């Protein structure tokens, strides 16, 4: 029977290729540097070819080393999915779960939901990663995350999605603003205003404009908020108006600020909140139960 590389050796190789540093790779693998070096040497001896070029200061992968590392990522991911299958069969709501969440959802939904999740699923170890949608989906595809909580619509490719509910948009404006004193604001009311938005990269920016039919509205290009909290403060200081999801308003984001809030007219302009995961994941029952537990907090 032909001897083949072990998963441990392949994991060491990927860690070194990713970091080009033995010490950092060893720390990432939770082993000593000598153990990692020995594992790489064993792999090179087995394959009969060098995988790394070593000097006193640097480590550079050879072409073969880089190619094998790329192939190894798929094997390691498959091995982890085998463990997930076994874990999900035993207890779907137990063990670690790495969840990505976008910044326009995490600070407003999770503080309310997490106490209930801990009580309902005491064996579930939830690890959270907050980032913009595109980067979270890259981590999901790479196997670094198990699922992502995000806002829709968004191009999701071949991912599976569970729709959790809607999050309506309202217009937030200075309390002494000249907007007509009506029950709801129209796109025409907002189109000529100094519209404050999140900076590029935040999906809420385009989702709010599309949902409220404001794609052609005049926008304040001098100010781009990095968070919804920043936008709320900018409005309170008279710099313009903004669009805010109900989730943030319910969390008290404008509490104590000298601003007014008015819903938008039309068919309740909103974004959808969804939980997405890889179609090949073995933890679909885990995600389904997690999504059902999150629904009441929308």
Q: CA 166, CA 271: separation in Å to the nearest integer?
A: 6
Q: Is residue 2 part of a domain?
A: no
Give the residue numbers spanning the domain of 154.
93-164+272-297
Q: Quick one: average pLDDT of 153-175?
A: 92
| Same-domain status, 198 and 252 | yes
Q: What is the CATH number of the domain that holds 276?
A: 3.40.190.10
| Same-domain status, 159 and 171 | no
More confident residue, 10 or 3: 10
Q: What percent of the chain has pLDDT over 70?
A: 94
Task: Give pLDDT tens digits for 215-252.
Answer: 766 665 557 788 999 999 999 998 888 989 999 999 99
| Same-domain status, 261 and 188 | yes
| Same-domain status, 197 and 254 | yes
| Same-domain status, 196 and 238 | yes
Question: What does the mean pLDDT of the chain come to?
Answer: 88
- State how many domains the chain has: 3
| Same-domain status, 258 and 281 | no
Q: Is residue 1 part of a domain?
A: no
Nearest to 104 by CA among 222, 220, 229: 229
| Same-domain status, 175 and 194 | yes
Task: Give pLDDT tens digits for 115-128.
Answer: 999 999 999 999 99
| Same-domain status, 191 and 258 | yes
Q: Which residues make Cβ contacts (< 8 Å) with residue 125, sequence separation at least 6?
A: 95, 96, 97
| Same-domain status, 23 and 114 | no
Buried b (16+ CB within 10 A) or exposed e, 55-74: eeeebebeeebeebbeebbe
Q: Is residue 236 part of a domain?
A: yes
| Same-domain status, 107 and 142 | yes
Q: Is residue 133 part of a domain?
A: yes
| Same-domain status, 104 and 84 | no
Q: What is the CATH number of the domain that holds 71?
A: 1.10.10.10
Q: Quick one: average pLDDT of 137-166?
A: 94
């Amino acid at each position: 029977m032909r001897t083949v590389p072990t998963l441990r050796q392949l994991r060491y190789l990927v860690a070194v290729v990713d970091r080009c540093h033995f010490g950092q790779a060893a720390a990432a693998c939770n082993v000593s540097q000598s153990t990692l070096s020995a594992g790489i040497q064993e792999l090179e001896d087995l394959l009969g070819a060098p995988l790394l070029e070593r000097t006193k200061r640097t480590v550079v992968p050879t072409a073969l080393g880089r190619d094998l590392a790329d192939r190894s990522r798929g094997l390691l991911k498959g091995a982890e999915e085998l463990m997930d299958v076994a874990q999900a069969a035993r207890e779907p709501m137990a063990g670690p779960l790495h969840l990505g969440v976008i910044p326009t959802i995490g600070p407003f939904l999770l503080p309310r939901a997490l106490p209930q999740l801990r009580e309902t699923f005491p064996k579930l170890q939830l690890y959270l990663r907050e980032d913009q949608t595109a980067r979270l989906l890259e981590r999901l595809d790479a196997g670094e995350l198990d699922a992502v909580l995000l806002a829709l619509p968004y191009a999701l490719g071949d991912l599976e999605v569970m729709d959790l509910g809607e999050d309506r948009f309202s217009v937030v404006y200075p309390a002494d603003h000249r907007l007509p004193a009506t029950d709801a604001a129209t796109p025409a009311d907002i189109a000529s205003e100094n519209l404050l938005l999140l900076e590029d990269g935040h999906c809420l920016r385009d989702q709010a404009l599309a949902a409220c039919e404001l794609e052609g509205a005049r926008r304040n290009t001098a100010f781009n908020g990095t968070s919804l909290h920043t936008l709320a403060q900018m409005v309170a200081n008279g710099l313009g108006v903004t669009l805010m999801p109900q989730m943030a308003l319910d969390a008290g984001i404008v509490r104590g600020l000298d601003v007014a809030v008015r819903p938008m007219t039309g068919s309740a302009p909103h974004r959808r909140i969804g939980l997405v995961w890889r179609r090949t994941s073995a933890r679909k029952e885990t995600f389904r139960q997690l999504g059902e537990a999150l629904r009441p907090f929308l």
